[in-house]
């Protein structure tokens, strides 16, 4: 018998499980050992050894290795070995950087890995999907991705989109009965749900029958293994730029070599010097360091509760000019408490905070017993019936399982002495039409003890009016049209106090009638009353909105909630100011994107919108030239999240679908985290600019010193091994330390960056050329002064040039910490940089003063009076320009 044919008992016996308690944790661990992890095997990864050798596949490195080999064969053993050692060390550095980048990307993937709800030891637990085993009972709701292959045992309005397997994007309707006809394909498997498919509506419970590679998805997994690492725009731009830089470096090197030879230098020496120069000058390590900087930044973001799913988003974050954010849960705490109840012109108040079910009911000043008031008690009972939340007492604390709006209604009912057990004894839920943000309501069909059926519905109060034909007004059912004004006043009255409002309605079902569709259940209702609940703003949001505004970023609130509630909260948070206005979903629905473009700049709040409208908002803002960050949590939010420049999903309340569509996940669902991520995004980009500037200016300096020397008919100021050493030491640690720099304090006071700006924008190109030129010139001057003084001691003059070049670069690195000037922040504020510079200095001294290394690097000790010259010349490039900026400012 196949799983689809079995009934529940057969399934339980075959899979050794129990639908009510699941399997035990011990059993789960045992099964996991036998069955392996519930994951699709990833494709072959590049092996560590291959990655290491890949560091040497660069053309110039191969030429250098070949040249070194020749010099070794010619008897220059020490030089050959030293050069090979340096190339190896350089390779190791590149290897380390790439491994690190790869590892942190893997760690990221792991953090964003899907979770699944399983029943173990009688309790629902959320576990990483990879730990699920055959026999686990799992549950899922709309927006979830199914974590394994399951046979359904319960299905409520369940529809699953199986395009990942079938290509068919229309969702299949699912059910939980046994089926006795043969299935012709996945589409016929009505009582099965498959790994990787997506719940587009309703909810369900199932028993896992296959995990990992033993799933329908596992069988086609080979087809799906596409690499998902994307290069960021900057990486792509650097790649293009790299080609130009290589050509330029090679061209200049060629001139150096040719002039050198024409000046009478030996062919072989010039060849080796040329190749070393090319290796040093080509910024082959740049892409790897950019990846490291990006991934280190990404790790800092994790500490601030933001997970980046797509690396390009890190860069785009720094360009964001509008943040469109949901209200509930992102700007507010999503900890709801019912404070007001209204029905038939009467308002009651409820005391108590949080989810603890204790509080008093008041009618005006007078305390009332809800049990003594039929209307109030009924309103609370209905609120409990049309409700899926659960209150759990854990370690003396009440926690909520489920939707906070429903939780608030449950707690209010419990404050009146109602409890689930009693209600379940009297009423049975026969069918449920689940909530969705577009309908803005949900309903249940209930059977009471006498076998009578009725509908209980709840939803947005204004929406519920259009689904009701009558109203219960002081225990009489009358036409709703007679009390329209009173209802609107009641709704507005609550909403203006920033309360979230939910209306309750009901209707009896005549016996013998079967209501199959929600449109039948949710029409012709009797409007019963309102629940008004507070959902306080998160305390940090107001400040975050202000900081974003200072950073040139506008905050827009998008909410399904009532206009008046949205307005009140937006006002409290400083989102709605001056001439900014609120636009309602109804108006939005009638507008074209073009029309919206004309007014969207003035809109700060979109209220009563459906998720489908969000896409229009994104498009209109984008057409106006904005870079848009858009949050969302539900299935219907996915298109807008995808279309936004930065799609953001919620870590706690977000559905799998929204998470998969997003490039950033907020672990704490908090608006303030978006602001923190943007700040970090800006900082990462600035750090990348810092080391691009440092590396390229250093390279320009290295090339120019050689170039000028050859043009001036001087001997070689640096020998190949020295050039390679400079490249290794200065390009390595200090450049990486720049990638760890903290943000400048005005990073959130500047306007967003233009995403189209080139690598050298905002004066970076000029800085590189001018600093590089000065480094080259001052090194050369130091060399000439010493050489002219004592032309017989070329080795000494070369040592001076070598030291001046290294020192000039190590001083210049501090200047790179700020785009303004070296004096605009404490130059020693980055401890990694200080450590990197100190260790480079120590290495420099060792090379000059340690006799065995002197032999290898062809250096000699420097006399103390010449140190003055070295330090003076090395300081010029940085301080000359810093001084000129200072003078320009004070003038």
Q: Which residues are catalytic?
A: 326
**What are the CA-CA distances from residue 63 to residues 52, 58, 60, 87, 607 (Å)?**
18, 9, 5, 12, 65
Q: Choose the stretch contacting ligand ATP; rule: CB under 6 A; options: 139-147, 413-421, 457-465, 537-545.
A: 457-465
Binding to ligand ATP (CB under 6 A) within 484-513 occurs at 502
In the numeric block, which tokens belong to residue 98? 């790439």
Nearest approach, Cβ of residue 611 and ligand ATP (Å): 7
Q: Choose the stretch contacting ligand ATP; rule: CB under 6 A; options: 91-99, 171-179, 203-211, 436-444.
A: 436-444
Of the pair 204, 459, the CB lying nearest ligand ATP is at: 459
Could you tell me if 413 and 384 are in contact, meaning their C-beta atoms sit under 8 angstroms apart? yes
* 39 touching ligand ATP, by CB under 6 A: no
| Rounded-to-integer distance, Cα 137 and Cα 207, Å | 5
* 459 touching ligand ATP, by CB under 6 A: yes
Of the pair 405, 818, the CB lying nearest ligand ATP is at: 405
Of the pair 195, 502, the CB lying nearest ligand ATP is at: 502
* 442 touching ligand ATP, by CB under 6 A: yes
Nearest approach, Cβ of residue 411 and ligand ATP (Å): 14
* 560 touching ligand ATP, by CB under 6 A: yes
Question: Which among 207, 204, 154 has a CA at the least distance from the CA of 177?
Answer: 154
Q: Would you call 308 helix, strand, or coil by DSSP?
A: strand
| Rounded-to-integer distance, Cα 648 and Cα 536, Å | 22
* 256 touching ligand ATP, by CB under 6 A: no
Could you tell me how far CA 98 lies from the centroid of its own chain? 21
The string of DSSP codes covering 543-569 is: HHHHHHHHTT-EEEEE-SS-HHHHHHH
Of the pair 651, 732, the CB lying nearest ligand ATP is at: 651
Q: Choose the stretch contacting ligand ATP; rule: CB under 6 A; options: 348-356, 432-440, 590-598, 789-797.
A: 432-440
Of the pair 437, 622, the CB lying nearest ligand ATP is at: 437
Nearest approach, Cβ of residue 349 and ligand ATP (Å): 20
Nearest approach, Cβ of residue 648 and ligand ATP (Å): 13
Nearest approach, Cβ of residue 150 and ligand ATP (Å): 26
Could you tell me if 636 and 437 are in contact, meaning their C-beta atoms sit under 8 angstroms apart? yes
In the numeric block, which tokens belong to residue 710? 């050859």
Using CB under 6 A, count the residues that bind ligand ATP: 18
Dihedral angle, C-alpha 336, 342, 346, 352, nearest 10 °: -20
Residue 193: in which H helix or E strand, if any? strand 192-193
Nearest approach, Cβ of residue 511 and ligand ATP (Å): 27
Binding to ligand ATP (CB under 6 A) within 359-418 occurs at 403, 405-406
| Rounded-to-integer distance, Cα 203 and Cα 519, Å | 19
Of the pair 328, 859, the CB lying nearest ligand ATP is at: 328
Could you tell me how far CA 322 lies from the centroid of its own chain? 16
What are the start-end ranges of the E strands in 50-181? 115-120, 123-128, 137-141, 149-161, 172-173
CB atoms within 10 A of CB 177: 12
Structural Rg of the chain based on CA atoms = 35
| Rounded-to-integer distance, Cα 31 and Cα 42, Å | 22
Q: Choose the stretch contacting ligand ATP; rule: CB under 6 A; options: 156-164, 229-237, 556-564, 643-651.
A: 556-564
Nearest approach, Cβ of residue 385 and ligand ATP (Å): 12
Query: What residues have CB less than 8 Å from 852, skipping those under 6 apart?
Result: none
Q: Choose the stretch contacting ligand ATP; rule: CB under 6 A; options: 139-147, 437-445, 466-474, 775-783.
A: 437-445
Question: Which among 555, 840, 858, 587 has a CA at the least distance from the CA of 698?
Answer: 840
**What are the CA-CA distances from residue 781 to residues 705, 778, 794, 805, 841 (Å)?**
9, 5, 14, 11, 21
Of the pair 405, 649, the CB lying nearest ligand ATP is at: 405
Query: Quick one: which of 435, 528, 606, 783 contacts ligand ATP (CB under 6 A)?
Result: 435
Could you tell me how far CA 673 lies from the centroid of its own chain? 10
| Rounded-to-integer distance, Cα 508 and Cα 383, Å | 16
In the numeric block, which tokens belong to residue 767? 């800085």
Nearest approach, Cβ of residue 654 and ligand ATP (Å): 11
Of the pair 435, 528, the CB lying nearest ligand ATP is at: 435
Q: Name the phi and psi angles at 121, rounded to 5.
A: 50, 35
Query: Quick one: which of 115, 248, 437, 622 contacts ligand ATP (CB under 6 A)?
Result: 437
Nearest approach, Cβ of residue 4 and ligand ATP (Å): 33
Burial class (CB in 10 A: 0-12, 13-18, 19+), 392: exposed
Of the pair 45, 586, the CB lying nearest ligand ATP is at: 586
Residue in the shown chain whose Cβ atom is closest to ligand ATP: 560
Could you tell me how far CA 335 lies from the centroid of its own chain? 24
Dihedral angle, C-alpha 836, 837, 839, 840, nearest 10 °: 110
CB atoms within 10 A of CB 215: 24
* 559 touching ligand ATP, by CB under 6 A: yes
Nearest approach, Cβ of residue 649 and ligand ATP (Å): 13
Query: Quick one: which of 145, 440, 538, 616 contacts ligand ATP (CB under 6 A)?
Result: 440
Per-residue interface string for the shown chain with ligand ATP, residues 302-341, x marking contact by CB under 6 A: ------------------------xxx-------------
**What are the CA-CA distances from residue 399 to residues 396, 406, 408, 412, 415 (Å)?**
10, 13, 11, 15, 15
Unique residue bearing structure tokens 């009582």 = 191
Of the pair 559, 670, the CB lying nearest ligand ATP is at: 559
Could you tell me if 782 and 875 are in contact, meaning their C-beta atoms sit under 8 angstroms apart? no
Of the pair 55, 334, the CB lying nearest ligand ATP is at: 334
Q: Choose the stretch contacting ligand ATP; rule: CB under 6 A; options: 166-174, 424-432, 434-442, 883-891.
A: 434-442
Could you tell me if 418 and 369 are in contact, meaning their C-beta atoms sit under 8 angstroms apart? no
Of the pair 456, 781, the CB lying nearest ligand ATP is at: 456
Nearest approach, Cβ of residue 437 and ligand ATP (Å): 3
Nearest approach, Cβ of residue 632 and ligand ATP (Å): 9
Of the pair 440, 567, the CB lying nearest ligand ATP is at: 440
Nearest approach, Cβ of residue 541 and ligand ATP (Å): 13
Q: Choose the stretch contacting ligand ATP; rule: CB under 6 A; options: 47-55, 262-270, 453-461, 667-675.
A: 453-461
| Rounded-to-integer distance, Cα 322 and Cα 393, Å | 41
Query: Quick one: which of 31, 309, 335, 458 contacts ligand ATP (CB under 6 A)?
Result: 458
Query: Quick one: which of 79, 149, 561, 744 contacts ligand ATP (CB under 6 A)?
Result: 561
In the numeric block, which tokens belong to residue 885? 């900026």
Burial class (CB in 10 A: 0-12, 13-18, 19+), 398: middle
1, β-bridge pairs:
none
Name the site residues for ligand ATP (rule: CB under 6 A). Answer: 326-328, 403, 405-406, 435, 437, 440-442, 458-460, 502, 559-561
């Amino acid at each position: 018998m196949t799983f689809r044919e079995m009934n529940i008992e057969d399934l339980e016996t075959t899979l050794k499980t129990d639908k009510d308690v699941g399997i035990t944790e011990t059993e789960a661990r045992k099964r996991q050992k036998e069955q392996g992890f519930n994951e699709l095997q990833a494709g072959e990864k590049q092996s560590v050894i291959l990655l290491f050798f890949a560091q040497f596949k660069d053309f110039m490195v191969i030429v250098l290795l070949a040249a070194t080999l020749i010099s070794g064969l010619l008897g220059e053993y020490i030089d050959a070995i030293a050069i090979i050692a340096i190339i190896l060390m350089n390779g190791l550095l590149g290897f380390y950087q790439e491994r690190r980048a790869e590892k942190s990307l893997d760690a990221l993937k792991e953090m964003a890995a899907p979770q699944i709800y399983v029943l173990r030891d009688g309790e629902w637990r959320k576990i990483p999907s990879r730990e699920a085993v055959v026999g686990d009972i799992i549950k899922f709701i709309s927006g979830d991705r199914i974590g394994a292959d399951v046979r359904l045992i319960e299905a409520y309005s369940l529809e699953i989109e199986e395009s990942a397997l079938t290509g068919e994007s229309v969702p299949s309707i699912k059910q939980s009965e046994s089926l006795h006809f043969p299935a012709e394909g996945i589409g016929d498997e009505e009582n099965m749900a498959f790994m990787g498919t997506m719940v587009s509506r309703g909810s369900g419970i199932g028993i896992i029958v296959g995990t990992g590679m033993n799933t329908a998805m596992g069988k086609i997994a080979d087809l799906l293994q596409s690499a998902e690492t994307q290069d960021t725009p900057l990486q792509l731009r650097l790649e293009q730029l790299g080609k130009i830089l290589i050509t330029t470096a090679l061209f200049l090197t060629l001139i150096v070599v040719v002039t050198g030879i024409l000046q009478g230098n030996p062919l072989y020496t010039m060849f080796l010097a040329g190749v070393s120069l090319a290796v040093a000058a080509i910024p082959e390590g740049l892409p790897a360091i950019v990846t490291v900087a990006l991934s280190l930044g990404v790790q800092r973001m994790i500490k601030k509760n933001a997970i980046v799913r797509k690396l390009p988003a890190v860069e785009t974050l720094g360009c964001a000019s509008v943040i469109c954010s949901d209200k509930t849960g992102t700007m507010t705490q999503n900890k709801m408490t019912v404070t007001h109840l209204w029905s038939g012109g009467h308002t009651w108040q409820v005391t108590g905070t949080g989810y603890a079910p204790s509080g008093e009911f008041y009618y005006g000043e007078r305390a009332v017993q809800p049990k003594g008031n039929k209307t109030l008690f009924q309103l609370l009972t209905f609120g409990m019936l049309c409700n899926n939340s659960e209150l759990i007492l854990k370690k003396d604390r009440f926690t909520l399982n489920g939707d906070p709006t429903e939780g608030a209604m449950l707690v209010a009912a419990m404050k009146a002495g109602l409890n689930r057990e009693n209600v379940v004894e009297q009423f049975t839920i026969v069918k449920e039409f689940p909530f969705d943000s577009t309908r803005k309501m949900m309903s249940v069909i209930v059977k009471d003890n006498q076998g009578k059926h009725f509908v209980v519905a709840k939803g947005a109060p204004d929406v519920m009016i259009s689904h009701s034909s009558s109203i219960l007004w002081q225990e009489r059912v009358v036409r709703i049209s007679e009390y329209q004004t009173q209802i609107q006043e009641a709704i507005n009255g609550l909403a203006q106090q920033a309360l979230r409002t939910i209306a309750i309605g009901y209707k009896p079902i005549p016996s013998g009638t079967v209501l199959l569709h929600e449109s039948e259940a949710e029409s012709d209702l009797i409007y019963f009353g309102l629940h008004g609940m507070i959902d306080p703003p998160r305390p940090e949001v107001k400040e975050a909105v202000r900081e974003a505004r200072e950073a040139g970023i506008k905050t827009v609130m998008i909410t399904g909630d009532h206009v008046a509630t949205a307005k009140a909260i937006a006002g409290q948070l400083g989102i709605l100011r001056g001439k900014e206005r609120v636009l309602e979903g109804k108006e939005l629905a009638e507008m074209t994107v073009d029309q919206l473009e004309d007014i969207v700049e003035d809109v700060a709040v979109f209220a009563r919108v459906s998720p489908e409208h969000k896409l229009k908002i994104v498009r209109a803002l984008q057409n106006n030239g904005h870079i848009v960050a858009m949050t969302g949590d539900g299935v219907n939010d996915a298109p807008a999240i995808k279309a936004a420049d930065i799609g953001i999903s919620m870590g706690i309340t977000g559905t799998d679908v929204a998470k998969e569509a997003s490039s950033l996940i907020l672990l704490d669902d908090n608006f303030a985290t978006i602001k923190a991520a943007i700040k970090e995004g800006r900082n990462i980009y600035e750090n990348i600019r810092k080391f691009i500037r440092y590396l390229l200016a250093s390279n320009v300096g290295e090339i120019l010193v050689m170039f000028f020397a050859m043009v001036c008919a001087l001997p070689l100021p640096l020998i190949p091994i020295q050039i390679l050493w400079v490249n290794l030491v200065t390009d390595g640690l200090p450049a990486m330390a720049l990638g760890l720099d903290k943000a400048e304090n005005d990073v959130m006071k500047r306007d967003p960056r233009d995403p189209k700006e080139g690598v050298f924008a905002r004066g970076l190109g000029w800085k590189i050329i001018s600093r590089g030129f000065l480094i080259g010139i001052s090194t050369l001057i130091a060399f000439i002064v010493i050489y002219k003084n004592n032309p017989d001691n070329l080795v000494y003059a070369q040592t001076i040039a070598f030291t001046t070049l290294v020192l000039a670069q190590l001083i210049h690195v501090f200047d790179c910490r700020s785009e303004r000037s070296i004096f605009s922040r404490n130059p020693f504020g980055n401890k990694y940089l200080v450590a990197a510079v100190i260790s480079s200095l120590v290495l420099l001294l060792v090379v000059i003063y340690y006799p065995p290394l002197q032999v290898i690097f062809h250096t000699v000790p420097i006399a103390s009076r010449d140190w003055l010259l070295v330090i003076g010349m090395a300081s010029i490039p940085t301080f000359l320009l810093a001084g000129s900026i200072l003078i320009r400012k004070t003038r």
